[in-house]
Amino acid sequence: MDIILKGGHVVDPASNLDSESDVLIKGDKIAQVGKNIKANGAKTIDCKGKLVFPGLIDMHVHLRQPGREDEETFVTGSRAALKGGFTSVLCMANTSPVIDNKGVVEYIYAEASKTGLINIYPAAAVTKGLEGKELTEIGQMAEAGAKALSDDGKPVMNAEILRRALEYAKMFGLPVISHCEDTNLSKNGAMNEGFISTKLGLKGIPRASEVVMVMRDIELAELTGAKLHIAHVSAKESVEAVREAKKRKIKVTCETCPHYFTLTEEAVFGFNTKAKVNPPLRSKEDLAAVKKGLSDGTIDAISTDHAPHSIEEKDVEFDFAANGMIGLEFALSLANTELVKDKVLDWSGLIKKISANPAGILDLKGKGSLAEGSDADVTVFDPAAEWVVDEKRIESKSKNTPLVGRKMGGTVLVTIVGGKIKYENGKFE
Amino acid sequence: MAVKWTKKDLLGLEGLSADEIGLILETADSFKEISQRPIKKVPTLRGQTVVLFFFEPSTRTRTSFELAAKRMSADIVNIQTNASSLTKGETLKDTAKNIEAMKVNIIIMRHSASGAPQLLAESVSPSIINAGDGSHEHPTQGLLDMFTIKEHKKKIAGLNVSIIGDIAHSRVARSNIWGLTKLGAKVTVCGPATLMPPEIEKLGVKVTYDIKEAIEGADVINMLRIQLERQGQSLFPSIREYAMKFGLDAEKMKYAKKDVLIMHPGPINRGVEITPEVADGPYSVILEQVTNGIAVRMAVLYLVSGVKERIE
Ligand SMILES: [Zn+2]
Ligand SMILES: [Zn+2]
């Protein structure tokens, strides 16, 4: 059945649209966007007073399948995504087995299609087993549909290997997503290095452990002319380095995550392992620099780095707790309150970073736009609705977030994937 | 004293008020008297079970707590383990829940991870006493150091106290800083730049890398134990250089005040952070610290156990 979204405020930066319009969906494509569209027999969704976006794209998630289905599966991860308004995600390669050969890439697509809720694209490992030693069969994985290369969870510490990966990836147009961390500098670190780590007696991770790798990788991007994407930028100096690199016309893009523009290292007080993440939550200054980077265009994308962990991995001594927090269900609300209401970005600027730009960086054809003929992935959002994060109502299989109890601004009403309503008013298809 | 003890746990000195610290020190005074009797036993904790839950080997602190609990007639259980054996299956909380199920009253905990006692305090009902967690706090050591200082100097406020050594990894340093600054002492920390934690001056202490500066004018010098394996972590080039630059010897003692107190939490690396002649010399109160440790720990056990009877 055709679907018509009536009277919503449509924000589609890819087609320069930011006004009240109807959106008509026929089959799995956007058929028309405009005023007063007549659509006899179509299912009508009244969007008056609501916002209509191209489906959100999260270019950095850990779905834990295969290997840790006790923490997340494609089904639970997809439900979390739909509730958060995400219609497409890029899942990182640090699964078990690692996504480091064609077979695992094919497995991801097969399982994703069996799940049938959202678009799940795999990132493929840069090096075999994420060991940082030998390149994976990048060409074969590109043919099988890998959308990016990343050893995320770990950096490629050997600069020569990253250089060759960047060069080789160029042949397939794949971006290399770099988890920037000098593991010598960050070794045994548990939180951001500074006064709070001193107070708590926890080993600090200096910002420099991120920054030196951002700078190194930028130089390698310049050397090779390849597409480099910096994952989860958290430090002020990293933002500055990317800003300079863009001035030098180096092909670098970067992302940050909602926790870096929402929380600071103070969330760790009381040894709160739910606030343990890598890179660590930083200072107020870093948070301000991340916001500035978002507003001036230095930071291209907002991704969640959704990282589910079991209770056993979090409810332990801070030093032994796993890094990471879930993010899919909260990203858009946090962006609403921390960025849009705070006038860091307008809606169009935000949707660029959470839909249009990720589609561009990953070269996802037909995604990230509501232009006629695009894939019918649509998110309807009510920015005025309020809710409180309740652990019992989290869709993700893991509940590791420091946001429980926090009041959230704005809620996703409808998520449409490929022309099918997958989520509507709190209910899944 | 007007202040009443209300806390179930003793996790650190950061969370205590000056009055609460004062109360512990005063209570310790009465217990010290007991330790000097021929029969050193009071029935204060009769029928209560105290668990010594040690994840790090520590003969001194464990023995001191054990004696403190024995002199108060508590039943004592010793659990020695290490953190890595736990991570392979049973978590710290599982183990603690098991101990709790045995209906114990007080758990005294030593752990290599900062914050472990707090995790325990949030999950089980017995009182938790932190006997040292990672680089975070070692509150009873801080208290016994203050008790020893007060015995000699009759006050804490206004004294110049220098803490010298590996400040970054030292829970003793942190507990001393919290306690001493709350009671009005002026604290200087001194050590190699590699062993100085970032922004420590925000705790209200003076930082110097020059040991002479730390010695001059100090009423108390607290020498920290240097862990010898730090040498392999590029934190200082050699033990020899460390001893030359930051070890306290007779030569450097020339800069010290005539009534200075020399302290050390032990165990001492003789000839590294302190030479034998200084450790055993006239200014040293290192053995008194050990004696006072028992009285201070008795006071802490007494207060957290909430026992209302007066000491006989
Ligand atoms: Zn990462
Ligand atoms: Zn990640």
Range of the domain at B105: 18-137+293-305
Among B14, B94, B136, B171, which would you mutate to test the A interface (most chain A Cβ atoms within 10 Å of its Cβ)? Answer: B136
| B143 & B117 share domain | no
The confidence score (pLDDT) of residue B84 equals: 58
Confidence check: pLDDT of B312 > 50 = no
Given a contact cutoff of 8 angstroms between Cβ atoms, the answer to whether A202 and B116 are in contact is no
Percent of chain B as helix, strand, coil, to the nearest 5: 45, 15, 40
Neighbours of B57 (CB within 10 A): 9
**In B124-170, which ranges are continuous DSSP H helix?**
139-153
Q: Measured between CB atoms, does A270 come within 8 Å of chain B?
A: yes
Of B91, B93, B114, the CB nearest to A201: B114
pLDDT of residue B57: 85
CATH class, range A3-51+375-428:
mainly beta
> Where does B154-210 have alpha helices with state H?
171-182
Q: If you average pLDDT over every residue of chain A, what do you get?
A: 98
- Are B144 and B286 members of one domain? yes
Other Cβ atoms within 10 Å of B111 Cβ, number? 27
Query: In chain A, what residues touch B93 (CB-CB under 8 Å)?
Result: 315-316
The dihedral through the CA atoms of A388, A391, A397, A399 has a sign that is positive
Q: What proportion of chain A, given as a percentage, has pLDDT over 90?
A: 99
The answer to whether residues B196 and B211 belong to one domain is yes
Q: Which distant-in-sequence residues (6+ apart) come within 8 Å of B281 by Cβ?
A: B250, B253, B262
The answer as to whether B177 is a domain residue is: yes
User: What are the residues of chain B with a beta carbon less than 8 Å away from any beta carbon of chain A?
Assistant: 14, 83, 87, 91-93, 111-116, 118-119, 133-137, 171, 174, 197-200, 202-203
Q: Please check whether residue B219 lies inside any domain of the structure.
A: yes
Are residues B131 and B210 located together in one domain of the fold?
no
pLDDT digits (tens, 9 = 90+) for B211-269: 999 999 999 999 999 988 777 788 999 999 999 999 999 999 999 999 999 999 999 99
Which whole number is the average pLDDT over B146-153?
98
Same topology between domain A3-51+375-428 and domain A55-361 = no
Q: Among the residues of A84-234, which ranges form H helices? A: 102-115, 138-143, 159-170, 183-186, 195-200, 207-224
Residue type (1 letter), B88: K
Using CB atoms within 10 A of its CB, is residue A40 exposed (0-12), middle (13-18) or buried (19+)?
Answer: exposed
pLDDT in tens, A201-224: 999 999 999 999 999 999 999 999
Q: Measured between CA atoms, how close is B43 to chain A, in angstroms?
A: 36
Q: Residue A233 CA: which ligand is closest?
A: 1
Of A48-52, A390-394, B55-59, B187-191, the poorest mean pLDDT is in B55-59
- Cβ-based contacts of B171 with chain A (< 8 Å): 201
From CA B136, how far away is CA A217, in angstroms rounded? 36
Residue B308: predicted pLDDT: 47
Chain B residue with minimal CA distance to A312? B91
Q: Return the CATH class of domain A55-361.
A: alpha beta
- Between CA B190 and CA B221 the distance in angstroms is 10
Gap from A62 CA to chain B (nearest CA, Å) = 23
Q: What is the pLDDT of residue A378?
A: 98
Q: With the CA atoms of B284, B287, B288 and B291 taken in that order, what torsion angle do they form, in degrees rounded to the nearest 10?
A: 170
- What is the chain A residue with the closest CA to B171? A201
Q: Are residues B73 and B167 in the same domain?
A: no
Are residues B183 and B90 part of one domain?
no
Mean pLDDT along residues B32-59:
91
pLDDT band at B83 (very low <50, low <70, confident <90, very high): low
CA dihedral sign of residues B62, B67, B72, B77: positive
- Note whether B109 and B148 are same-domain residues: no
B224 and B120 assigned to the same domain: no
DSSP conformation letters of A323-389: P-B--TTTHHHHHIIIIITTTSS-HHHHHIIIIIHHHHHHT-TT-S--STTSB--EEEEEEEEEEE-
Q: Within a 10 A sphere around the Cβ of A147, how many other Cβ atoms?
A: 22
Q: From chain A, pick out residues whose CB is under 8 angstroms from the CB of B198.
A: 193-195, 197-198, 204
Supply the CATH number for residue B25's domain. Answer: 3.40.50.1370
B52 & B40 share domain: yes
pLDDT band at B91 (very low <50, low <70, confident <90, very high): confident
Closest to A28 measured CA to CA, from A327, A375, A351: A375
| Tokens linked to A59 | 């270019």
Q: Does a structural domain hold residue B12? A: no
- List, for residues A285-319, the tens digit of each pLDDT value: 999 999 999 999 999 999 999 999 999 999 999 99
Distance B289 CA to ligand 2 centre (A): 49
The CA A148 to ligand 1 mean position distance, Å, reads 14
Ligand that lies nearest to the alpha carbon of residue A95, given by its number in the listed order: 2
* DSSP assignment letter at A427: E
pLDDT confidence band for B86 (50 / 70 / 90)? low
Is residue B137 within 8 Å of residue B178, measured between CB atoms?
yes
Q: What is the mean pLDDT of chain B?
A: 93
The reply to whether B10 falls in a domain is no
User: How is chain A split into domains, by residue range?
Assistant: 3-51+375-428, 55-361
Same domain, B130 and B149: no
Q: Are residues B109 and B192 both part of a single domain?
A: no
The pLDDT of residue B81 is 80
Q: Is residue A304 a contact partner of residue A232, using CB atoms and an 8 Å limit?
A: no
- Per-residue pLDDT at B307 exceeds 70: no
Q: Which of B55, B91, B181 to mutate to test the interface with A (most CBs of A within 10 A)?
A: B91
Q: What's the gap between Cα B15 and its chain centre?
A: 15
Tell me whether residue A182 is one of the annotated catalytic residues.
Answer: no
Residue among A195, A201, A317 minimizing CB distance to B119:
A317
Residue B310 domain-assigned (yes or no): no
Gap from CA of A60 to ligand 2 centroid (Å): 6
Per-residue model confidence (pLDDT) at position B90 = 77
- Note the pLDDT of residue B34: 87
For residues B89 and B144, membership in a common domain is answered with: no
Amino acid of residue A423: Y
For the cut 60, the answer to whether the pLDDT of residue B87 exceeds it is no
**pLDDT of A317:** 95
Amino acid at B154: K
Look at residue B310 in the predicted model and tell me its pLDDT: 40
- The pLDDT value recorded for residue B309 is 43
- B6-24 pLDDT, tens digit each: 999 999 999 999 999 999 9
Under an 8 A CB cutoff, do A271 and B135 touch?
no
Domain count within chain B? 2
Residues B165, B262: contact at Cβ < 8 Å?
A: no
B50 within a domain of the structure (yes/no): yes
CA gap B290, B61 in Å, rounded: 9
- CA of B95 to nearest chain A CA: how many angstroms apart? 11
Q: How far apart are CA B139 and CA B61, in angstroms?
A: 12
Is 0.80 topped by the overall pTM?
Answer: yes
Ligand 1 centroid distance, CA of B280 (Å): 53
